[in-house]
Amino acid sequence: MDRRALLAAGSAALAGCLPLRGSPRTPGANANEPQLRAEYEYLPGDSAYRVRHAAGNEFTAENTGALVVRVDPRDERANSRLWAGTDVRADDSDDGGATQSFPVGVGDEIRVPAPSRGDVRVVWTGPDGENSVSLDVYRAEEQPTPTPTPRPTADGTATEDG
């Protein structure tokens, strides 16, 4: 028997005999949620975080009910700011309304007041208002430690800001 024919026949015979391992994988829970990668910067002079949409999907009224940035400082009350949409859970958001109308795309940014550093989350809520998920998180322990900046004083000495 020809070697190629033997290999083909053996492969076909084995293909029907091998058991399937488990059931097919189901898609993850976030398969239909928009994707986002943000850039974060703490602005100590403004006591705020600047959050910039760096990569990912465009957020529109069709795919988003609300896009909220939430800051959870250590030892202080959390603060949220509505980036775009309808704030469906305004329990700790300021009453200023959305800072931007749809769409929110790459390059758009928002400032969120924060008296001190903390975890920052970008939270997406679906257009139905029922599903929500943190799309991106900037954890306090991942943030760079501020370096003191010398600042001259009236008497000619220097103090450090940090």
Which residue from 34, 40, 67, 38 is spatially nearest to 55, judged by alpha carbons?
Answer: 38
pTM score over 0.85: no
For 71, phi and psi rounded to 5 degrees? -115, 125
pLDDT at residue 70, rounded to an integer: 95
pLDDT at residue 156, rounded to an integer: 62
pLDDT at residue 6, rounded to an integer: 56
pLDDT at residue 110, rounded to an integer: 97
Structure tokens at 35: 């994707």
Kindly give the parts of the chain with pLDDT less than 70: 1-31, 87-96, 147-162
Structure tokens at 13: 């015979």
Residues 6+ apart with CB under 8 A from 51: 38, 39, 40, 69, 109, 110, 111, 112, 120, 122
